[in-house]
Structure 1
Amino acid sequence: MIFLDAAATTPVRREVLDAMWPYLTGEFGNPSSHHSLGDAAATALAAARAAVAQVLACRPGEVTFTSGGTEADNLAVKGIALARQAADPALNRVVISAVEHPAVEESARYLERFHAFTVDVVPVDRSGRVTPEALASVLRPGTALISIMYANNEVGTVQPVGRLAALARERGIPFHTDAVQAAGWLPLDVKALGVDALSISGHKLGAPKGCGVLFVRGRTKVEPLVHGGGQERGRRSGTENVAGAVALAAALTLAHAEQASLAQRVTGLRDTFIRAVIDSVPGALLTGHPVERLPSVASFCFPGTSGESVLLELERQGVLCSSGSACAAGSDAPSPVLLALGIASEVAQTAVRFSFDSSVTQAELELAAAAVETAVGSVRNLGK
């Protein structure tokens, strides 16, 4: 099998497994316990926090461990907006883009349903980009938070986060970015990006599922979503997943060390793959920005087919990929992301996403491109 669905998840790296193994076995202590086993767990947790902070160029106290990217997004959107509203009831608007992950969009809609917030949605252009002008057009005096993702999980478009965050800073509005797909491929220096909050998920980086991180800038107030014993500096109660934190820190450190060279190598492979598909499949439509896109994502629509039928045919040929976000599994509706790009509904339902991890090779992508040509051709012939 050729695995080209890394945007959904990645295999656990051996180095990461080795790093976390002691905390799944002998070093099983609770980091809140005041004895030697607890102290060892607390030390490991502090070291993991410091390692994450080093990659993000922030202070360890600004790092909160979560159960994954979804929880990190929920804590950022709900937590910051609610804290701002509590301080000033006039702050009752949140801004998101039209192509956000459901973890951000549904968090904003929750605020709308239960806390009287208004959700302002920034449109994107046909490549999926938010411009500073488009963002400025929706900002209001009551805006409590802006949340715009760093890179899109379906089409790979990278947003000009630095420019958008600078605009938010000029208006005194906290800016959160979902960096779940960007981590490992794009720089994560939060000072350079200028963001106030940033979310990461471990299983996109070679760590296990169930571990994530939220960076929140020091003086930004956050209302916790999980209440209890006050762990994670009161932002996220519950006994910490020490093994998961260690795993995420190890995976993030490895990815950070490899990021520049890996991004350059995979970008070249991605572009060759895109050209091969466009050249061999009549009518193939590349979705997302042609240049400002993740090295790891090549996404297409194949008009005249069914995306699900193409996926089944590709799997029969040994290529595993997806029709879009794994978080929308089971839905046969056209992707809201593709609709936001102005793609017609019937074309959006023909979408197929190919996403690569660090181990992808030229030989694999050559075989995959040939399989795409055959699969699309077979599906079109069956439809005649």
Structure 2
Amino acid sequence: MSEFITENNYLDHAATTYVRPEVLEKMLPYFTEKFGNPSSLYDIAQESKNAIEEAREICANVLNCHPSEIYFTSGGSESNNMAIKGIHKTRMDFGIISSSIEHHAVIHPIEQLSQLGVDSTFIDVDQRGLINLEKFKKNINKSTKLVTFMYVNNEIGVVQNLKEISKIIKKYQSDYNCEILFHSDAVQAPGKLSLNVEELGVDLLSISGHKIYAPKGVGLLYKKNGIDIQPLISGGGQENQMRSGTENVPYIVAFAEALRLSEDERLENQQKIKKMSDLLISEITSRVKNYKLNSSRDICVPNIINLSFPGFDGESIILGLNFKGIYVSSGSACSSASIEPSHVLSALGLTDEESLSSIRVSLGRDNTEEHIHEFVNALEGVLAQLASYKR
């Protein structure tokens, strides 16, 4: 555990995580000793190449796929772009279906393709964040070449039923003898849910390292064998011609170790986090008079809890907690010019006021019940202080 985590109350694990000591230990030799270029022929170069292939096998074991289906990238955003734009480049009469609550790393690439004439459809969600599957069925047509729905939402934690969505896609393919690929942004899923791609029924899947105690700047794209997509980056032909550029060996090694640990510890950690999540909601319910829970507990991962406090400004709450050494995030996207309501919360039907009054708490492996009590005590104090300014 890092010294920062020991001395502070970090509750923003859906944003990023520190690098675990075990993960750091794995990667360090590849900076100073095992630094060879994997494309070279001599011993230390081949050692680097072997390390990449071992990492690929580790990731494949977690995803229950063949190692040749794992492609290392710089993270979730690149993996999502690689899937969406790479598929578009190889197919004519391209249509894509997604949801209204996707991460911007999915929404923005689709919007870019829409400007090129691609037929894009964003399916609405219900008030809890679940995709309207009946609307999805009605919008599939013969021009649909790609469906992309996230596994776990990064703002509210809602889990989409990928297995059921896959069944709908496969039935349409069977009925109309066509190909529709299914991609999922699973960046928030590792350590929380199974990543067995065969059971999920996905053709492509994106994961990022820095959400699972690996460094920032590394991730993967799972691509089922036999699927033709064009690379985003051309050059030396690394990653089986899919991603050119000298491989980031230390980060790849670290990422594989972090992914392995997240899966090995998944059930134990989730049981612990579920108890803390329940405690947090119970404490807030008993001590805060007016709040709205935006994360429906029966369909959300316990790690992510999104809360609105009508009449208060979410950013002010976050800054107030920050002064007390407690770190959470907002459900709003901020820029230098304006503060916009979260597109995810708006899709759930929240008003702009409710959306702008929201905060997101996201729990991690090192959080304790003491952290929860400290957070609720501080939150109660911050709300009281903010309320006093209105009098």
Structure 1 runs, 4 residues or longer, greater than 4 Å off: 327-331
Aligned counterpart for 2:197 among listed residues 168, 190, 198: 190
Q: Name the SS of the counterpart of 1:144 in structure 2.
A: strand
Aligned counterpart, 2:186: 179
Asked if the contact 2:76–2:208 (Cα under 8 Å) also holds between the matched residues in 1, the reply is yes
Q: Name the aligned partner's letter for residue 74 of structure 1.
A: N
Q: Within 5 Å, give how 1:4-23 maps onto structure 2.
A: 4-23=11-30
Bigger mean CA deviation after superposition, 314-323 or 47-56 = 314-323
Q: How many residues align?
A: 377
Aligned counterpart, 1:229: 236
Could you tell me how far 1:162 is from its partner in structure 2? 1.1
Bigger mean CA deviation after superposition, 44-53 or 123-132 = 123-132
Aligned counterpart, 1:111: 113
Q: Name the aligned partner's letter for residue 99 of structure 1.
A: I
Q: Which runs of 5+ in 1 are unaligned?
A: none
Q: Name the SS of the counterpart of 1:303 in structure 2.
A: coil
Bigger mean CA deviation after superposition, 272-281 or 146-155 = 272-281
Aligned counterpart, 1:138: 139
Aligned counterpart, 1:342: 349
Asked if the contact 1:66–1:236 (Cα under 8 Å) also holds between the matched residues in 2, the reply is yes
Could you tell me how far 1:328 is from its partner in structure 2? 5.7
Q: Name the SS of the counterpart of 2:339 in structure 1.
A: coil
**Separation (CA, whole Å) in 1 of partners of 2:201 and 2:48:** 33
Could you tell me how far 1:288 is from its partner in structure 2? 2.6
Aligned counterpart, 1:360: 367
Structure-2 change in CA distance of 1:217 and 1:329 (3 Å): farther
Q: Name the SS of the counterpart of 2:330 in structure 1.
A: coil
**Separation (CA, whole Å) in 2 of partners of 1:136 and 1:370:** 47
Could you tell me how far 1:138 is from its partner in structure 2? 1.9
Aligned counterpart, 1:293: 300
Asked if the contact 1:56–1:190 (Cα under 8 Å) also holds between the matched residues in 2, the reply is yes
Q: Name the aligned partner's letter for residue 387 of structure 2.
A: R
Could you tell me how far 1:81 is from its partner in structure 2? 2.7
Q: Name the SS of the counterpart of 2:307 in structure 1.
A: strand
In the alignment, is residue 369 of structure 1 matched against residue 376 of structure 2? yes
**Separation (CA, whole Å) in 1 of partners of 2:236 and 2:221:** 19
Aligned counterpart, 1:25: 32
Could you tell me how far 1:329 is from its partner in structure 2? 6.3
Q: Name the aligned partner's letter for residue 152 of structure 2.
A: A
Could you tell me how far 1:198 is from its partner in structure 2? 0.7
Aligned counterpart, 1:122: 123
Q: Name the SS of the counterpart of 1:55 in structure 2.
A: helix
**Separation (CA, whole Å) in 2 of partners of 1:175 and 1:372:** 41
Aligned counterpart, 1:81: 88
Aligned counterpart for 1:58 among listed residues 61, 65, 68: 65
Q: TM-score, normalised by structure 1?
A: 0.95
Q: Name the SS of the counterpart of 1:227 in structure 2.
A: coil
Aligned counterpart, 1:203: 210
Structure-2 change in CA distance of 1:279 and 1:82 (3 Å): farther
Asked if the contact 1:55–1:253 (Cα under 8 Å) also holds between the matched residues in 2, the reply is yes
Q: Name the SS of the counterpart of 1:233 in structure 2.
A: coil
In the TM superposition, what whole-angstrom CA distance separates every residue of 1:104-146 from its partner, at most 9, and x where no partner exists? 00111111113x1021001000011114223212212211101
Could you tell me how far 1:169 is from its partner in structure 2? 2.3
In the alignment, is residue 213 of structure 1 matched against residue 215 of structure 2? no
Asked if the contact 1:278–1:285 (Cα under 8 Å) also holds between the matched residues in 2, the reply is no
Aligned counterpart, 1:96: 98
Q: Which runs of 5+ in 2 are unaligned?
A: 1-7, 174-179
Could you tell me how far 1:279 is from its partner in structure 2? 2.4
Bigger mean CA deviation after superposition, 305-314 or 157-166 = 157-166
**Separation (CA, whole Å) in 1 of partners of 2:123 and 2:288:** 33
In the alignment, is residue 309 of structure 1 matched against residue 312 of structure 2? no
Aligned counterpart, 2:151: 150
Could you tell me how far 1:332 is from its partner in structure 2? 1.0
Q: Name the aligned partner's letter for residue 104 of structure 1.
A: V
Aligned counterpart, 1:2: 9
Asked if the contact 1:95–1:147 (Cα under 8 Å) also holds between the matched residues in 2, the reply is yes
**Separation (CA, whole Å) in 2 of partners of 1:329 and 1:154:** 18
Q: TM-score, normalised by structure 2?
A: 0.94
Q: Name the aligned partner's letter for residue 202 of structure 2.
A: V
Asked if the contact 1:131–1:160 (Cα under 8 Å) also holds between the matched residues in 2, the reply is no
**Separation (CA, whole Å) in 2 of partners of 1:113 and 1:364:** 47
Identity %: 38
Asked if the contact 1:81–1:94 (Cα under 8 Å) also holds between the matched residues in 2, the reply is no
Q: Name the SS of the counterpart of 1:232 in structure 2.
A: coil
In the TM superposition, what whole-angstrom CA distance separates every residue of 1:193-242 from its partner, at most 9, and x where no partner exists? 11111111000000000000000111111111111111111111111111
Asked if the contact 1:286–1:299 (Cα under 8 Å) also holds between the matched residues in 2, the reply is yes
Asked if the contact 1:158–1:294 (Cα under 8 Å) also holds between the matched residues in 2, the reply is yes
Please, what is the CA RMSD of the aligned residues?
1.3
Asked if the contact 2:334–2:340 (Cα under 8 Å) also holds between the matched residues in 1, the reply is no
Could you tell me how far 1:370 is from its partner in structure 2? 1.5
**Separation (CA, whole Å) in 1 of partners of 2:97 and 2:335:** 26
Asked if the contact 2:123–2:136 (Cα under 8 Å) also holds between the matched residues in 1, the reply is yes
Could you tell me how far 1:73 is from its partner in structure 2? 0.7
Q: Name the aligned partner's letter for residue 354 of structure 2.
A: V
Q: Name the SS of the counterpart of 2:98 in structure 1.
A: strand
